[in-house]
Amino acid sequence: MIRIARWFIFCLLSSSVLAASPEGVVAVSQPAAAAAGARILAQGGNAIDAAAAVQFALNVVEPQSSGIGGGGFMLVHLAKTGETFFVDSRERAPARARADMFAPDGLPMSFPLASTSGLAVGVPGTLLGVDTALHRWGTMKLAATLAPAIKLAEHGFRVNRFLADDIANDDGRTQIQPETAATFRPGGVPLAEGDWLVQPDLAKTLKLIAAKGPDAFYRGPIARAIVKAQQRGRSELGDAGKGRMTLADLAQYRVAIRRPLIGHYRGWTLAGMPPPSSGGLTLFEILKLLERFPLGDVAQGYGFGSPKTLHVMAEAMRLAFADRAVWIGDDDAAQVPQHALLNPEYLAARTALIKTDRRMDTPQAGALTPWGTPAAMRLKPARTRKESLHTTHFAIVDRWGNMVSYTTTIEYTWGSGITVPGYGFLLNNELTDFNFLPSADPAEGNPGANDVAPFKRPRSSMAPLLLLKDGKPVAAYGSPGGATIINSVLNVTLNLIDHGMTMQQAIDAPRLSVTNATGKMNCEGGQTFMQPAFSLVAQDALRTLGHTGLGEAGTDGCRETIGSVQAVVVDPATGTHGGAADPRREGTVIRVRH
């Protein structure tokens, strides 16, 4: 095991793609936002300061994915003490939220209508989360970290192909509200790659926050504008589609500082996000379900991309996502059975359901008795809906070794599509991450873990992760992608530990994803950097085992794009730092020397 660990660390840092340095490194999905973080590091700021600057810059240059109208989870690892914390700035439901608000007549609302109505808007947490992190662990004032974003919003930037594509293929979401259309479709013409985008209203808002702090957002004119904006609904829904947030909800929003959920896999330690995200818990369950299989052993028929490896990965995903659907929600609202789901005896019973020669029938959530929780019975349909593939993730390590791994979102691409008039930022549609139909059913043992409730945070899939060996941090990474986030982070983790890849190789490699118990499979291919590709032979073998979603036999069914992982790495022996970025977006690594 010691030899494997040393080889892994050597490989992790040896790729020529990595930006190796004892200094600061930022890995971000967008180059202008990466430059904002690098600028802060160059000015002497630490990783937390740089993370604040990146987040605010992303609000300007990736407005479709994240911003101050949304929320997220920031992992902070402190080099001096060895402690790891999570800043939970996930949106909350307003006080007047109710379990049946997305199904007032007993039938779930249409997602396109509900998600573009004020009813879907959760109380935003991003700004207060960033400010809280700065106060606790940063070295710079909030205003200093806002400066790069203000410049980008005020003077503008060139639209890249990812933003242009998201405007052109928006499912109408930038066209419903006039303020959103005026920004991204001026004169009715969608912005194209290379166009210059200036956002004066957003610049004004960021300057106001820089001058007056978070109170400028959570109280006063901006707060009143948020409340008024989220009262917009869709005519098809009538009053039922209007938001329920009040000024009191904004003023009472609180950030939570959480200790990490700790997992273990083949001698490695992982620090992940606990509930209300399902990211860490579901990831750790999948890893433990897979641990009995020699995924890296080619001699036993495994190895990267082999049918056996892909098959057991898919089956473990199905089992863990079945548990996720019933058991995981906001732990502050109702206790999540975290220890039971990771109980070794429970996991042994679950992994025994995985057979290497056939696909299992649709699994149910596990009965957690006798490990502390009543058994759940059958799942019910139409509880949740598809999560957006957008969101954004970035990772930073500073010259002192402090690390940040931060996943942040406004939920669906373009969030609710509602831009706050006069202030230039989009509001999230995060409340659609709750169950549309209430699932609580004492007779069936279903706790309704993700049912809507006042002040509750909706279940997330975000999974910022810290990987450690012998107590020392080795890598910090994460991904966007809705429910596929969990599987993107899983794929990279397996690539590193089981398949001996460098971080850049682990990120570039094609990914496999299954995000529900029924088990429709998605996999990547078609882009030259996705190597080694999943072969047609392997795909046909998966079809023969009973897996669905790959299309006809003999064809290439792996044509998806899944996630966008950004990572930083640290050599625990030498302190050398590196970074790796995902070419699925415009991933950028910048090294900062002093």
Handedness of CA 185, 109, 459, 566 (dihedral sign): negative
How far is it, in rounded angstroms, from Cα 46 to Cα 24? 8
Instruction: Give phi and psi for 159, each to the nearest 5.
Output: -65, 130
Tokens of 256: 């939570």
How far is it, in rounded angstroms, from Cα 305 to Cα 535? 8
Residues pairing with 162 in the sheet: none
Tokens of 576: 């050398």
Tokens of 276: 């209300």
How far is it, in rounded angstroms, from Cα 268 to Cα 565? 20
The DSSP string of 510-554 is: --EE--STT-B-EEB-SSTTS-SPPPHHHHHHHHHHT-BSS-STT
Instruction: Give phi and psi for 76, each to the nearest 5.
Output: -125, 120
Q: Is 392 a catalytic residue?
A: no
Largest CA distance in the chain: 66
Query: 420 exposed, middle or buried (CB, 10 Å; 0-12, 13-18, 19+)?
Result: buried
Q: Where does 341-447 show beta strands of DSSP type E? A: 392-397, 403-409
What is the edge-to-edge ordering of all strands in the sheet holding 256-258? 256-258, 84-88, 71-77, 403-409, 392-397, 24-28, 588-592
Listed residue (476, 460, 535) closest to 281, CA to CA: 460
Total length of the chain? 594
CA 411 to chain CA centroid, Å, is 9
Instruction: Count Cβ atoms below 10 Å from residue 29 Cβ, excluding itself.
Output: 29
Choice among 391, 409, 502, 561 that is catalytic = 391
The residues assigned a catalytic role are 391
